Structure 1
Amino acid sequence: MPTSQKPSTAELRPVVHPEGVKDRRSGEHWAGRLYMREISLRCDPYLVNTRVTPNQLTHLMVVAGVLAGAALLLPGLLGAVLGAVLIQIYLLLDCVDGEVARWRGQTSITGVYLDRVGHYLSEAALLVGFGIRAADVFGAEGDTNWLWAFLGTLAALGAILIKAETDLVDVARARSGLPAVKEEAATPRSSGLALARKAAAALKFHRLVGGVEASLFILLLAVGDLIRGDLLLTRIGVVVLAAVAVLQTLLHLVSILASSRLK
């Protein structure tokens, strides 16, 4: 509902944050619920009546996410800090684009598609950048070890496959003439798998390969490396993220096959 005047946050909130938006178990990031949705709500008044389109904001989101991965190529703490800041900007734009679309009534399939592609590209770029960072490509001694870059790329591939496994559920259902999956269908039919799923959800180890969590993890490791004076912690971190990505790819696939999402 666009107006000629800058709307207040009170006017915006019921439109851009409709009931259930913050409560979506699989569609809302914890950082969005915790703080970013409130920050984006305060940015919306300056955007909703401009010529900037929701899809343009999504394009900017992708740029910020990909640049976060590139920033990690900068050695030392600077690259890690810049990467974490860019991921926060990425998350902000990920909130703002949909909110502007809701206010203007410009939600579209194209916007949803661009948003998903943006998540794929951005999170993969961050993990590939992390692997290259660990390989020390621009190290003064020139002793680059591409094994670390490979492991970072493996983590990125796992992160993409995890998202693809989720998205392909709706693709398979649509091609079979079925409606989109409901969240309650995600519960595994097997009690053992349901228990394992609850344990994984409680530990939340799988979130380490997500953009926000990975950027903070990388920043923490960079601080440790600065204290140590080497890249040992970063390299351990690459191994951890690659292992988590591979394990979660397999577990997530099993979880989908064992649930009623494909029924």
Structure 2
Amino acid sequence: MSRVQLEELRSVIHPPGKLDSRAEHWAGRLYMRSVSLRVTRLLLNTRWSPNQITGVMVVAGMLSGAALLIPGLGGAVLSVVFMQLYLLLDCVDGEVARWRKQFSPLGVYLDRLGAYLADAAVMVGMGFRASSLGLSPYLVAGLVAAIGVLLLKASSDLVHVARSDSGLAKATDQSVVPRSSGLARVRRLTSAVGIHRICNGIECTLLLLVAAIVDTARGDLTATRVVTVAVTAVVWVLVPAHVVSIVSSSRLKK
């Protein structure tokens, strides 16, 4: 198979509106889609299937959390590297699938499973890191944050399950907006501030890297522990707020 031209490839794997959609991560728009475009072109001449790429993505996400068990700045750097690899492969698997027209429920399932495992692994790794790999309230905080992140993701995915089981079409972006004008304003404000992003493994690993740099300069784990408590608090403020937002929107209405 001859190497496809980048512009031809881009027109297929980055269709109009793809990079501007709500589902597209800011890092994808900013830099990763430019990288993934070239990696995808290389993989098109291999036997790697989209699902195999997704499988490696899942492993990379879990390794990002495991890397946080390595003390010092090196562990934080390695965690960011694995999470960026996760993000890259999360772009590439879908791009290869779109070019080859190889779509499957298994691929969607693995992709969602990877998102659950990656973010939860980072939260657990964060707790272990803040507790110096011992038993402490910071370890509990990390585990509690992981549970909260799983609940945030599950509450969103359960909307699709509920609508599918009710024979309804997939919810649109418009149906996500709460019917209450007050709740809608709060949702727009939190979205603009972006505080919810630290519950995501990509942003959290970057934040933990900054904390590791501060900790290295100070010679302790104060910054990592502050981040751990802050992330856990934000997660558990968002969990009930997210559920209320879903119930008060049109997503569960016919």
TM-score after normalising by structure 1: 0.95
TM-score between the two structures when normalised by the length of structure 2: 0.98
C-alpha distance in 1 between matches for 2:105 and 2:12: 19
Q: Which runs of 5+ in 1 are unaligned?
A: 138-143
Q: Match for residue 79 of structure 1? A: 75
Q: Distance in 2 between matches of 1:83 and 1:115?
A: 20
The equivalent of 1:108 in structure 2 is 104
Q: Partner letter of residue 13 of structure 1? A: R
Q: Secondary structure at the match of 2:170?
A: coil
**Structure 1 residue 240, shift from structure 2 partner:** 0.5
Equivalent position SS for 2:124: helix
1:128-166 CA-to-partner distances (Å, cap 9, x unmatched) read: 0010001102xxxxxx34211110011111111111111
> What's the RMSD between the two structures over aligned residues?
0.8
Deviations 1:185-210 (A, max 9, x none): 11111011011101111111111010
Alignment partner, residue 252 of structure 2? 262
For residues 66-94 of structure 1, give each alpha carbon's deviation from its aligned partner in whole angstroms, at most 9, with x where no partner exists.
00111011100000000011100000000
Aligned counterparts of 1:77 and 1:97: Cα–Cα separation in 2: 30
The percent of aligned pairs where both chains have the same amino acid is 53
Structure 2 portions without partners, runs of 5+: none
CA distance in structure 2 between the partners assigned to 1:85 and 1:46 by the alignment? 21
Match of 2:13 among 16, 21, 29: 16
CA shift at 1:21, angstroms?
Answer: 1.2
Aligned match of 1:66: 62
Deviations 1:33-77 (A, max 9, x none): 111011100111110121011001001001111001110111000
Match runs of 1:128-167 below 5 Å: 128-137=124-133, 144-167=134-157
Query: SS of the counterpart of 2:196?
Result: helix
Letter in 2 for 1:20: G
Q: Which residue of 2 aligns with 1:140?
A: none
Q: Structure 1 residue 45 and structure 2 residue 11: aligned?
A: no
Aligned-pair distance for 1:102?
Answer: 0.6
* Aligned residue type for 2:9: L
Determine the structure 1 residue equivalent to 2:203: 213
CA distance in 2, matches of 1:189, 1:5: 52
Secondary structure of the corresponding residue to residue 177 of structure 1: coil
2:122 matched to which residue of 1? 126
Q: Secondary structure at the match of 1:221?
A: helix
User: Which of 31, 36, 39 is 2:32 aligned to?
Assistant: 36
Partner of 1:6: 3
